[in-house]
Structure 1
Amino acid sequence: MLYQKYADKGYTKTNFAPDDVAQLHPHTKWTQQGMLFVYELLKSKGILPMVELDEQAS
């Protein structure tokens, strides 16, 4: 969940796709910039992806 204080940073993009003729539904996706932000935030707290933990053990 993206907090309001990060809403204007370009971390997500929302498109509206019609699920039926009468309504549009929002579909929010993380941008590359947003994924990098989440990665760096977690990394700063010592949380790394499994693939990187496997590389460190080798």
Structure 2
Amino acid sequence: MAGKFEMYKDRSDKYRFRLKAGNGEIIAVGEAYETKASCLHGIESVKANAAGAPVVEKEPTL
């Protein structure tokens, strides 16, 4: 089963999305958006940018 984006309204009446793997595990979450259109734009941005994004390991901060 393929992964999917779920869009929903939170308790503050803001739009959010989460990306779920095929097994149902949440693997990414988005920020709060004021409008449905903004949330959909956020999802499209993740789709467009994630595939080519590098993995960067950061050192712990003290």
Q: TM-score range by the shorter chain?
A: under 0.3
Q: From the two aligned structures, give the one with the greater helix fraction.
A: 1
Compute the TM-score of the two structures, normalised by the length of structure 1. 0.28
CA radius of gyration, larger in: 1
Compute the TM-score of the two structures, normalised by the length of structure 2. 0.26
